[in-house]
Structure 1
Amino acid sequence: MATQNPKPAASLAAKSEQDNLLANLARRVRVLRAQRGMTRKQLAAQSGVSVPYLARVEGGEGNVSVALLHKLSVALNVPMQDFLSDGTAQNADLTMLVQYLKQQAPATLARLRQQLISAPEFTGVGPGGRVALIGLRGAGKSTLGALLAARLDVPFVELDKMIEQEAGIAIGEVITLYGQTGMRRLERRCVEQIIDTYPRVVLSPGGSIVAEAATYELLLRTFYTVWLKARPEVHFARVMAQNDARIATPALQREALEHIHRMLDARENLYQLANMTLDTSDLTLEQSMHQLAIQLPEQIALS
């Protein structure tokens, strides 16, 4: 009797493993891009990877090289290993902690994080604390932030404008000239300056700040954070009301709405880490301001 050749089965298993790897990589690239609010065309321009090839990568197709991963890691400002692993094995204590945390339910993780940031060494929220309003464009961060700052009699800072002042150029030009890495480095430096300068302040950061783990962790630790939430259609309508020339045609409008959906889907779990969520979808400006004011912790509202 002829011996069965095991090679086809092994080959199929290897092919399946490769397909899973490419599918996971594709999903990771799509999420990272959406969290940063980058279109495929923008990522292609920043990375030097063509739009068609990037589409293949995000579709889980093609042979992805180390060189290509390096280009994407630079353009997205994430370590290259983040595409393939969680990168958590730094030392024995951290490894054990990560393994323990991976086994916990989401509610337990939320409670543990709150316990950590409530420890005495974390001094961000308290009498005279800082408030940061996070969310997508069209959430009302600038309008509500200015009103809240006036009500609390504290300074109001728009982070993007501060970045522009520091760089001496428009925010879009910062990204074009210095890429995500330079932009995020400047963003982090400005947040640190705000913390050093203002014991009380209302801050409106860019919506994609939540995609930068180190900076977002600093924000969560040193500010009382409020997610100004709205339905995608509401965000879109508010952007349209600003007469944005970039979405002047029906085709561009459909693309913009789809982009908003992708960003919200990719960032929702990050926005949910905020201390408070305020859905402004069906509220007027006055109603939003009232709800924001009455839901702030007493030590901030009365300080």
Structure 2
Amino acid sequence: MPTLPTDASVPDADDFPGSSDTGEQPADTLSENATDLAARVGQRVRAARAARALSRKRLAAKSGISLPYLSRVEKGDGNVSIGVLHRLALALNLPIENLVADTDGYGADYALIVELLKRQSHEKLGEIRRMLIHEVQDEQEAQVQRSRRIALLGLRGAGKSTLGPVLARRLSIPFIELNKEIEAEAGISLNEVFLIYRQPGYRRLERRCLERVISTYPEFVLAAGGGIVTEPSTYELLLHSFYCVWLRADPEEHFRRVMAQHDVRIANDQLKREAMENITQSLCARENLYALAPACIDTTGKSIDASVEEILRLMAKHNSQER
């Protein structure tokens, strides 16, 4: 039997170098974001100082920041560096993220819950996450949904677009590629989506398309983009709504499959080296996120049929345990 070929459909544009997404945003958007952030930092510093009954002069002395500069920071006028944020956080005895994170809508309990979670072990956090899902959502209904929806996760070259259609045929359900849905929604290619809307716009489309296919199809096999696991809210929706299977492979196998596509973005030796480095780094950085999926198979050197059979066995075992 043939081993898994490369995923020859829509590429995961965020999974290798040479993507048209430069990470840049228009200057007016950056200016607006910076203004909002400066105002938020100023408000947070003022509130934290007031809660600790500190005068502005006292906080300036504790943080080593000049009084005029601290005044500008609190008004949202200061050009705040990471170093200044760090000193203010230390002086106020706060995690630095408390000064910048957009969490105003969550109330006072949010900060206490975050601090409680920080003290837990990795294993305990997994247990807490499962308990929360059971507590705040209809877990019985979610189990039924997950038994009828399967999401394949992994980097480009893992075999999602190759295994997905075969698995869907075996289960007699549709196969959907999320990136193709994004292209259809936007009316342009994935590379153009990144060029025009940048990474944030792509992620918004990804979330919207995921919500749409969930509401439209009661059962299907989904090939998700490789970077979807880096978006916490979207990934939580995916884990809750699907039986997720991480298709993993050795970095060399990923690279071989990507190379088989003859992609012009990795056409010379320098870009090939960068692609291999990117694959290795992405696997390392995302491994703990992919590992949240309840199932994982290694597709390295395996035939299509063998990989599909392994997924079906894992699904049958999972469904029997859920009953």
- With normalisation by structure 1, the TM-score equals 0.71
Partner Cα distance (1:222, 1:291) in 2: 21
Q: For 1:161-172, what aligned pairs fall within 5 Å after superposition? A: 161-172=180-191
Q: For 1:23-34, what aligned pairs fall within 5 Å after superposition? A: none
Partner Cα distance (1:208, 1:106) in 2: 22
1:111 corresponds, among 124, 127, 140, to 127
111-120 vs 145-154, greater mean Cα deviation: 111-120
Correspondence for 2:110? 94
CA offsets 1:198-226 (integer angstroms, 9 cap, x no match): 11111001101111111111111111111
2:142 corresponds, among 124, 134, 138, to 124
- Alpha carbons of 1:66 and 1:48: their partners in 2 closer, same or farther (altered >3 Å)? farther
Partner Cα distance (1:67, 1:48) in 2: 21
SS at match of 2:142: coil
CA offsets 1:240-285 (integer angstroms, 9 cap, x no match): 1222232222222111100111111221111111111111113222
Tell me the CA shift for residue 195 of structure 1. Answer: 0.9
Contact 2:253 2:300 in 1 (8 A): yes
Contact 2:19 2:191 in 1 (8 A): no
- 2:264 is the counterpart of 1:245: yes
1:146 corresponds, among 155, 165, 168, to 165
- With normalisation by structure 2, the TM-score equals 0.67
Tell me the CA shift for residue 174 of structure 1. Answer: 0.7
**Quick one: higher RCO (CA 8 Å, sep 6+), 1 or 2?**
2
Partner Cα distance (1:223, 1:252) in 2: 35
Give the alignment's Cα RMSD to 1 decimal. Answer: 3.1
Partner Cα distance (1:44, 1:206) in 2: 18
Contact 2:17 2:274 in 1 (8 A): no
Partner Cα distance (1:36, 1:83) in 2: 29
Partner Cα distance (1:94, 1:268) in 2: 27
Correspondence for 2:24? 46
CA offsets 1:174-209 (integer angstroms, 9 cap, x no match): 111111222111111100111101111110011011
SS at match of 2:292: coil
- Alpha carbons of 1:67 and 1:161: their partners in 2 closer, same or farther (altered >3 Å)? farther
Unmatched segments (≥5 aa) in structure 2: 1-12, 28-78, 83-95
Partner Cα distance (1:288, 1:84) in 2: 47
- 2:239 is the counterpart of 1:220: yes
- Alpha carbons of 1:67 and 1:124: their partners in 2 closer, same or farther (altered >3 Å)? farther
CA offsets 1:6-54 (integer angstroms, 9 cap, x no match): xxxxxxxxxxxxxxxxxxxxxxxxxxxxx954759966562479xxxxx
Q: For 1:127-206, what aligned pairs fall within 5 Å after superposition? A: 128-206=147-225
- Alpha carbons of 1:236 and 1:38: their partners in 2 closer, same or farther (altered >3 Å)? closer
Correspondence for 1:285? 304
Unmatched segments (≥5 aa) in structure 1: 1-34, 50-64, 69-80
- Alpha carbons of 1:242 and 1:264: their partners in 2 closer, same or farther (altered >3 Å)? same
Aligned residues: 241
Partner Cα distance (1:191, 1:84) in 2: 32
Structure of larger gyration radius: 2
SS at match of 1:162: helix
2:289 corresponds, among 242, 250, 270, to 270
